[in-house]
A and B are shown apart, each in its own frame.
Chain A
Amino acid sequence: MHTIRVWFAKRHEACYISHLDLQRVVQRALKLARVPVWYTQGFNPHIYLTFAMPLPLGQQSITESFDFRTEQERLDTAALYWELNRALPRGIEVFDITPAKMGPGQIAFARYLIRFDGDAQQMQSRVEEFLSQKEILVDKRTKRGGVRQMDLAPYLGRRSWLPGEGDGAAVLDLTLPAGSTLNLNPDLLLNALEQATGIDPLDTSICRTQLLTADFKEFE
């Protein structure tokens, strides 16, 4: 049995497909592309399918992945690439198919590009001023459904600004904890930013660009 990891981007209209709906979309696509997937052997056989890191609704990503299993020794990944892309909706694009080397549990960080529309320099200094505070308190929902107050400031160290390209936006490259131990949705930060500065989250867009392990190696 081999576990195959399919890497894809989720953009444009596809940002509004929920995780649950995405699972069904991918199952159908695998079927449609006639991928020799392994079905679970239970009473109600279905495709074995896992996603590394569900993406919050409305965000874009160029580093999504899902895993399926196959008993086939050799897989024609080039053909699969074309077939899968033909079978997926607009905005979801497969860009690579690899063996799964790491388990999703090894993911510890996610890297994002966050784009702030407006005058690049002015935006950058407004946001930077907010990010450099000693303490940024936000309410985070816990897994049990409660709300817990936490400080974001200690987690914002890995950030840099992309050189301006003069297209009316400042672009922040930010790495945040992600995965099962601590997961920080950049929406949390943007909502806090809005409260503090009035910058509208709709004047920003978030794109996940990389998943990293605890020692900052790229998730493979």
Chain B
Amino acid sequence: MIDKKLRRALLAVQKPGRYTGGELGSVYKDPQKMDCRFAFCFPDTYEVGMSFLGMKVLYEILNARENIWCERAFMPWVDMVEQMRKLEIPLFSIESKTPLSQFDIVGFTLPYELSYSNILAMLDLAGIPFYAKKRGLDQPLIVAGGPCTCNAEPVADFFDAIMLGEGEEQLPALCDAVIDAKRRGLSKEELLLNLSKIKGVYVPSLYTVRYNPDGTVKHVTAHKGAPRVIEKAILPNFRHQPLPTHFTVPMVGAVHDRAMIEVLRGCVRGCRFCQAGFIYRPMRERDADMLNCAAQDLCRNTGYEEVSLTSLSTSDHSQLEALLDKLLVWTQGEHVNLALPSLRIDNFSESLVEKTTRVRKSGLTFAPEAGTQRLRDVINKNVTMDEVIRSCTLAFKNGYTAVKLYFMMGLPTETMEDIKGIADTAQAVVDLFYSLPEKPKGKGVTVSISVACFVPKPFTPFQFAAQDTMEQLREKQQYLLSCVRSKKISVSYHDARISFLEAVFAKGNRKLSKVLVEAYRNGCCFDGWGDLFKFDTWVECFKKCGIDMAFFANRPIPFDEITPWEHFSYGVDKSFLIREYERAQAAQPTMPCNRQCSGCGANKLMGGGKCVAYDQSVVR
């Protein structure tokens, strides 16, 4: 399976194990017996892709089907790209080393906007034409899913079909439609029409977009009976939806190399900047017994030494403490660590700290997101300074000496006072440490503050907001540095140029596809990898295509404007987003869903009535 050309390439690159597959848990099948071969593509490196839970979920679901073989492909690192070009090796799946062009379906996940150029790179390496309209039945069907499909318009021209929402049932349905089309000898047009009938499947070629003279969208027309609005797919019974228990265990270190169990989906909090908090609504929990069994199976099948309770806000699970007790019965005896990555400051309790620190102590991470109470109310991050102090006190008393605090800058209504608040918050934590008689002996404290640039995202109340210009952001970064006085505080912040490009693509429309092609042709790829990011090239390409970047990133969107993503629905009503945006301007917080329903509309996805989360009896 590894021929001479590939051997030559493998011996010339770093970490060849990224391209050879065969890991424990990887699936091998007889290609002759398959009705459908699916290449699951992740537009970033193996190490990043293998940390992505969505791929593990769908890999297991597709491969559970006898007649479908799902294999993986990743964006090769630059040294491998060079070798593949030189030796004319087309991009291949890492299991069977089959060129992507020989698959029935090539499916990309869209994890973040800055990976779009890598999608083009992967198609190009595979010898597959970029534009969907240029591909016939001799080419694989190219599809996409994942978080960024909520505004997939910038990449819509490249895909035959784009899947909105949860893929567990939708993706097998799409494969079945392809198998059916092959069997009956349907044309591509007929196949695409059938795909458009699957819940949440968007076939871009069935829609035309017209624009106003000022560049905004005039209207989007659906053709041939395709739904006017595509509503995301959602699982009918998440509480008892099985979890993957046979992860493929990477041999070349993944970023998050551990067992993961998704304890809940969605989030009750409604932080107004957070896209995930809105597009995964309503919040649904998995049953604690089921989670415990799945965690144990997963650890026993993979040999992992750490299991992480993954979700947007793990401490909001109503049975979390009970679940931890169940897990602690066996994890220590089997040398398994517990990790809770998404803790919230406001319900970070003593017994929780104790339970997670029984095996190993490391740093703690909190995300106040903004430096003043006023601004935290604006973004609806309902955390108070008292809670920050209380949680840090607890952590320090339990032996922690490093705290990481996440913030954003460039938030709507933000002033320099709020920026100073970031430094003040960090200083208060440092002062707290030294004021505690119970602090860990003989150790200093480190408070790291990491400050991201705010990027307005579709389907959030802040979708209407403009992003600060790069100059404004840089000015705020400099001001923040001048406010920090203690050597115990280390500051890191994001490159404003990267956040700017991210905003352009997050809120972009179909016109951006030609910029992507242009940028790729001019050498852009791995844009999310700081040192490979070619901002000047991007700017030139936008100019060349006659597209104004600021139009997308730095312009507020009026409530009555038709957004490029207006024809998608994630259950949350636009009127709710407007209401929330207005409350933000007045610094009025909104209750989490499990305290009080604010009528976002997501309950309609589950057939109306109360969301499960709202029914929960245990409310913190």
B-contacting residues of A (Cβ < 8 Å)?
12-14, 16-18, 21-22, 24-25, 27-32, 39, 44-45, 57-58, 87-91, 202-203
Residue in A closest to B16 when the chains form the complex, CB atoms: A16
- Rank and list the top 6 A-B pairs by shortest CB-CB distance, nearest first: A28-B303, A90-B22, A32-B303, A13-B22, A16-B16, A13-B20
- Least distance between B358 CB and chain A CB atoms (Å): 14
- Least distance between A112 CB and chain B CB atoms (Å): 17
Can you add 5 more A-B contacts, CB < 8 Å, to A18-B15, A30-B303, A87-B24? Answer: A16-B16, A24-B251, A28-B302, A32-B24, A89-B24
Q: Are B17 and A202 interface neighbours, CB within 8 A?
A: no
Residue in B closest to A44 when the chains form the complex, CB atoms: B360
Contact residues in A for B16 (Cβ distance below 8 Å)? 16, 57-58
Contact residues in A for B495 (Cβ distance below 8 Å)? none
Check if B268 is an interface residue, CB within 8 A of chain A. Answer: no
Provide the main secondary structure of the chain A interface.
helix
A39 to B2, CA, bound (A): 37
Q: Are A90 and B26 interface neighbours, CB within 8 A?
A: yes
Contact residues in B for A17 (Cβ distance below 8 Å)? 17, 251
Contact residues in A for B601 (Cβ distance below 8 Å)? none
Contact residues in A for B300 (Cβ distance below 8 Å)? 32
Check if B252 is an interface residue, CB within 8 A of chain A. Answer: yes
Q: Are A18 and B17 interface neighbours, CB within 8 A?
A: yes
A-contacting residues of B (Cβ < 8 Å)?
1-2, 4, 7-8, 10-11, 15-17, 19-24, 26, 28, 249, 251-253, 300-305, 334-335, 360
Q: Are A32 and B302 interface neighbours, CB within 8 A?
A: yes
Supply 7 A–B pairs (Cβ within 8 Å), ascending by A.
A13-B22, A16-B16, A21-B253, A28-B304, A28-B305, A31-B335, A32-B300
A58 to B360, CA, bound (A): 37
Contact residues in A for B7 (Cβ distance below 8 Å)? 58, 202
- Least distance between B77 CB and chain A CB atoms (Å): 14
Contact residues in B for A44 (Cβ distance below 8 Å)? 360
A17 to B19, CA, bound (A): 10
Q: Are B302 and A16 interface neighbours, CB within 8 A?
A: no
Q: Are A91 and B17 interface neighbours, CB within 8 A?
A: no
A30 to B304, CA, bound (A): 11
A21 to B17, CA, bound (A): 9
Residue in B closest to A88 when the chains form the complex, CB atoms: B24
Contact residues in A for B22 (Cβ distance below 8 Å)? 12-14, 89-91
* Most chain B beta-carbon neighbours within 10 Å: one of A12, A14, A90, A202: A90
Q: Are B301 and A32 interface neighbours, CB within 8 A?
A: yes
Q: Are B301 and A89 interface neighbours, CB within 8 A?
A: no
Contact residues in B for A57 (Cβ distance below 8 Å)? 11, 16
Q: Are A21 and B303 interface neighbours, CB within 8 A?
A: no
- Least distance between B581 CB and chain A CB atoms (Å): 48
Residue in A closest to B23 when the chains form the complex, CB atoms: A89
Task: Check A58/B10 contact, CB under 8 A, given A13-B2, A14-B22, A87-B24.
Answer: yes
Q: Are B301 and A16 interface neighbours, CB within 8 A?
A: no
Contact residues in B for A58 (Cβ distance below 8 Å)? 7, 10-11, 16
- Least distance between A212 CB and chain B CB atoms (Å): 27
A29 to B24, CA, bound (A): 9
A44 to B361, CA, bound (A): 11
Residue in A closest to B360 when the chains form the complex, CB atoms: A44
Contact residues in B for A24 (Cβ distance below 8 Å)? 251, 253
A58 to B9, CA, bound (A): 11
A202 to B28, CA, bound (A): 27
Residue in A closest to B257 when the chains form the complex, CB atoms: A24
- Least distance between B445 CB and chain A CB atoms (Å): 21
Q: Are A16 and B303 interface neighbours, CB within 8 A?
A: no
A174 to B147, CA, bound (A): 56
A13 to B1, CA, bound (A): 9
- Least distance between B23 CB and chain A CB atoms (Å): 5
Q: Are B17 and A31 interface neighbours, CB within 8 A?
A: no
Contact residues in B for A89 (Cβ distance below 8 Å)? 22-24, 26, 251
A45 to B4, CA, bound (A): 43
- Least distance between A6 CB and chain B CB atoms (Å): 15
- Least distance between A13 CB and chain B CB atoms (Å): 4
Residue in A closest to B94 when the chains form the complex, CB atoms: A13
Q: Are A13 and B24 interface neighbours, CB within 8 A?
A: no
Of the residues A14, A21, A27, contact of B252 by C-beta under 8 Å: A21
Residue in A closest to B300 when the chains form the complex, CB atoms: A32
- Least distance between B257 CB and chain A CB atoms (Å): 9
A22 to B520, CA, bound (A): 36
Task: Check A16/B335 contact, CB under 8 A, given A31-B303, A202-B4, A202-B8.
Answer: no
* Most chain B beta-carbon neighbours within 10 Å: one of A16, A18, A22, A57: A16
A22 to B22, CA, bound (A): 13
A45 to B302, CA, bound (A): 19
A91 to B21, CA, bound (A): 10
Contact residues in B for A25 (Cβ distance below 8 Å)? 24, 251
- Least distance between A28 CB and chain B CB atoms (Å): 3
- Least distance between B464 CB and chain A CB atoms (Å): 48
Of the residues A13, A39, A88, contact of B335 by C-beta under 8 Å: A39
- Least distance between A57 CB and chain B CB atoms (Å): 7
Q: Are A16 and B20 interface neighbours, CB within 8 A?
A: yes
Q: Are B249 and A16 interface neighbours, CB within 8 A?
A: no
Contact residues in A for B10 (Cβ distance below 8 Å)? 16, 58
- Least distance between B347 CB and chain A CB atoms (Å): 30
Q: Are B2 and A28 interface neighbours, CB within 8 A?
A: no
A31 to B28, CA, bound (A): 24
A27 to B21, CA, bound (A): 19
Residue in B closest to A43 when the chains form the complex, CB atoms: B360
Contact residues in B for A45 (Cβ distance below 8 Å)? 335
Contact residues in B for A91 (Cβ distance below 8 Å)? 22
Q: Are B4 and A28 interface neighbours, CB within 8 A?
A: no
* Most chain A beta-carbon neighbours within 10 Å: one of B24, B335, B360: B24
- Least distance between A49 CB and chain B CB atoms (Å): 13
A25 to B252, CA, bound (A): 10
A202 to B2, CA, bound (A): 12
Q: Are A29 and B303 interface neighbours, CB within 8 A?
A: yes
A24 to B20, CA, bound (A): 17
A89 to B248, CA, bound (A): 10
Contact residues in B for A22 (Cβ distance below 8 Å)? 251
Contact residues in B for A39 (Cβ distance below 8 Å)? 335
A29 to B303, CA, bound (A): 6
- Least distance between A66 CB and chain B CB atoms (Å): 15
Q: Are B305 and A31 interface neighbours, CB within 8 A?
A: yes
Contact residues in B for A203 (Cβ distance below 8 Å)? 4
A216 to B304, CA, bound (A): 40
- Least distance between A83 CB and chain B CB atoms (Å): 11
Q: Are B249 and A28 interface neighbours, CB within 8 A?
A: yes
A2 to B4, CA, bound (A): 43
* Most chain B beta-carbon neighbours within 10 Å: one of A30, A32, A202: A32
- Least distance between B93 CB and chain A CB atoms (Å): 13
* Most chain B beta-carbon neighbours within 10 Å: one of A12, A17, A58: A17
- Least distance between A94 CB and chain B CB atoms (Å): 14
A18 to B250, CA, bound (A): 13
A23 to B16, CA, bound (A): 16
* Most chain B beta-carbon neighbours within 10 Å: one of A14, A39, A89: A89
- Least distance between A169 CB and chain B CB atoms (Å): 13
Contact residues in A for B19 (Cβ distance below 8 Å)? 16
- Least distance between B138 CB and chain A CB atoms (Å): 30
Contact residues in A for B249 (Cβ distance below 8 Å)? 28
A51 to B15, CA, bound (A): 20
* Most chain B beta-carbon neighbours within 10 Å: one of A12, A22, A24, A87: A24
Task: Check A21/B251 contact, CB under 8 A, given A16-B20, A31-B303, A58-B11.
Answer: yes
Contact residues in A for B301 (Cβ distance below 8 Å)? 32
Residue in A closest to B8 when the chains form the complex, CB atoms: A202
- Least distance between A217 CB and chain B CB atoms (Å): 33
